[in-house]
Amino acid sequence: MTKISKPQIGNHSTIKEICSNPIGHDIVKKLLLQLKMQSKWIENPIVGLIRIGLIRKILRRKVDDGFFEAFFHLLNQEQNPYTGTRAENREKTWWKEAIFYQIYPRSFCDSNKDGIGDLGGVLEKLDYLKELGVDVIWLSPVYDSPNDDNGYDIRDYFNILSEFGTMEQFDCLLRAIHDKGMRLIMDLVVNHTSDEHPWFQMALKDPQSKYRDYYFLRTEQNNWTSFFSGSAWNYYEEQKLYGLHLFSKKQMDLNWENKELREDIKQMIRWWLAKGVDGFRMDVINYISKEENLPDGDKTIGSLMGYYGIEKYFYGPKLHMYLQEIRKEAFEPFQAFSVGEMPGIGQEMGKLLTGKNRRELDMFFSFDHLENPGKVRFDDYSYDLNYLKEYLMDWNQNYSSVCQLSLFYNNHDNPRFISKVTDDCSYHKLIAKLLAVIQFTQKGTPFIFQGDELGMTNSKFQHISDFRDIESLNLYRELVQEKGEGEVLRILNAGSRDQGRGVMIWNEHKYAGFSEKQPWIWSQEQPVVASVEEQKKDQNSVFVFYQDLLHFRKDNDTLIYGDTYFYGKHKKNIFAYRRADQSQSFYIHCNLSKQEQIFKTYYPVKTLLFSNYETLKADRMKPYEVRVYDCE
Ligand code: ISL
Ligand code: CA
């Protein structure tokens, strides 16, 4: 059957038509969010009839033509939304049931006392993870790397970074993980390699080399900018060529158009899967397809986003094709799991990338909940948890019914979520438990980031020499003249990725039991968080609470496959919902604020199963209080 194609999106298109296009839908929604406008606004039938041509006329002085051309071009790539059924996400699969735990190996545990976490350290702590209730470990990159971006710049995909250990140790770790009934997923970084990768070295050295075409080496640059400050092009004097790098100067973007490159990548994936690895978290995987000839990015979009060129690759023309190809030829033969890290992807694009029938990815990480509308990571503000509620209700309704949502608050690229909510330490433990309840009782797959189970918070970095992350160091250089030292340090303390990279707090000894030597990252003002050793002895600790919750989730399929019913949707500061199937039902009631709230359940409840307070008031919810009940 031939598909009847819809008319192209253009000036004549109405807002309603734009929003029924999957890319249009997600972009408009994101714009409204940044402008702090309700999405109800575009659902208004009159607004829906407005044509883009009219908006274009009104905005003529503010927005250039390139903006609309870029917008239409993107939308016309994808005409139809994903049509999955509700039943799809009820199908049982291990990765919907599993609890994932991200290990950032550099900061997890140091077994040979050189101040750097390593594979030996992970091996030592497997029982700890098992005891917590972890099913799958996601290991951030451990491949050989010059470490310009802490391992996200790979020099050799088939070797282990010597600071982390050896391949023998890796094999031994993988075996031990499987022996304990757990799984392991690795980080797959294939948007770029290190400039020290032999492919890039050969590409530079020999103009005849087939590897020249593995990268973007050109005589001219375009206006794209790097996520780590400055131009996205590095000039190679000797060759008189520019090389594209969306991240650091040592992370060279790979040209996926090249078929041999794709073969090499698939072969590498299969090599790891044949070893027994259970799947991959795929680094910035939505950036792998760039628009042909790498046209300049639109200036309006560039200044709006802070990065030029992003619309030319964040949802590139061949993204689906490449993903289908690697899935079919590398992942499926091993029944391997995939979760894509995809900055900028919204619900509808997300469905097209993770819908079961599409055979592309199993899941993806959306980042829209990590900051309040209108805010960016480096803003110093108090995160309002009412937005987390809105986000979860929205994604539950519009994404989770067909696809599996990933549930997380932290990773190695973000400051600690608890610290975003408040820097008042007296609330931290309560918030840690409140967030945990939401994470383990919402529909989706939870990803714990190391330290979450302790209620880990930010450190205070006093001086620029305390920072390690290339993004922070570059940003410092970019801003210090204009803003002054004090202000830049404030910005970095609020948003630096180093905040997520502090070492695990194992015991009360010097260097938190992470190492006996000064760790590779260490601030004088460490987070005020009790250690694993202390928390294990304390029945009221965040750790024990996590342990109980994880087991609760494992014992109750209802929390995994059951439906979600939200209550008091418009009631500020209260988040209430029920998870239910034919056999059971659980009711969750949260106070999202530090003000006491009146307590009245929206549904008849029976027994209290969890709370973050020891004594409860009959008709009041204390600050950040959460309760989980069994229902009639
Ligand atoms: O810091 C960011 C951009 O300014 C983040 O958005 C982050 O770079 C982005 O989410 C991509 O992250 C992943 O790829 C990067 C690496 O530095 C991150 O650690 C990784 O998680 C490049 O490989
Ligand atoms: Ca070490």
Scan for tokens 């503010």, then name that residue: 62
**Sheet arrangement for strand 585-591:** 563-567, 574-580, 585-591, 626-631, 605-611
Measured on CA atoms in the order 68, 70, 73, 78, is the torsion positive or negative? negative
Per-residue pLDDT, 86? 79
Per-residue pLDDT, 4? 58
Helix (H, G, I), strand (E, B) or coil at 22: helix
Active site annotation includes 508: no
| Pocket lining: 409 vs ligand 1, CB cutoff 6 Å | no
Low-confidence ranges of the chain (pLDDT < 50): 1
| Environment of ion ligand 2 (residues, CB < 5 A) | 110, 112, 114, 116, 118
Per-residue pLDDT, 127? 98
Q: Which ligand is nearest to the CA of 412?
A: 1
Q: Give, in degrees to the nearest 5, the angle at Cα 213 between 209 and 215.
A: 115
C-alpha 7 – ligand 2 centre gap (Å): 59
Please report how many Cα atoms fall inside a 13 Å half-sphere around the Cα of residue 246, on the Cβ side: 26
Nearest atom, ligand 1, residue 411 CA: 21
Q: What is the DSSP letter of 140?
A: P
Per-residue pLDDT, 5? 66
Q: 507 is written with which tokens?
A: 């015991």
C-alpha 185 – ligand 2 centre gap (Å): 21
| Pocket lining: 343 vs ligand 1, CB cutoff 6 Å | yes
| Pocket lining: 284 vs ligand 1, CB cutoff 6 Å | yes
Catalytic residue among 149, 163, 187, 283: 283
Quick one: three-class SS letters along 599-632? CCCCCCEEEEEEECCCCCCCCEECCCCEEEEEEC
Catalytic residue among 110, 118, 311, 341: 341
Active site annotation includes 213: no
Single-letter code of the amino acid located at 6: K
Q: What is the DSSP letter of 485?
A: H
Residue 617 CB neighbour total at 10 angstroms: 11
Residue 285's Cβ-count burial label (10 Å; 0-12, 13-18, 19+) is buried
Partnered with residue 445 across adjacent β-strands are: 406
The pLDDT tens digits for 499-516 are 999 999 999 999 999 999
**500 φ/ψ angles, rounded to the nearest 5 degrees:** -90, 0
Residue 620 CB neighbour total at 10 angstroms: 12
Question: Cβ neighbours of residue 516 under 8 Å, at least 6 residues apart?
Answer: 113, 510
- Ligand 1 binding pocket mutation candidate from 148, 227, 307, 491 (most atoms within 8 A of CB): 227
Please report how many Cα atoms fall inside a 13 Å half-sphere around the Cα of residue 183, on the Cβ side: 18
| Pocket lining: 247 vs ligand 1, CB cutoff 6 Å | yes
Per-residue pLDDT, 90? 85
Q: How far is CA 495 from CA 94, 231, 419, 459, in A?
A: 34, 22, 11, 12
C-alpha 116 – ligand 2 centre gap (Å): 4
| Pocket lining: 283 vs ligand 1, CB cutoff 6 Å | yes
Torsion of CA 464, 466, 469, 471, to 10 degrees: -20
Ligand 1 atom 20: residue of nearest CA: 283
- CB contact burial 501-512 (16+ within 10 A = b; e otherwise): bbbbbbeeeebb
Pick from 65, 68, 53, 44: which is nearest to 14 by CA?
Answer: 53
Ligand 1 atom 23: residue of nearest CA: 152
Q: How far is CA 26 from CA 6, 23, 81, in A?
A: 19, 5, 11
User: What is the model's pTM?
Assistant: 0.97
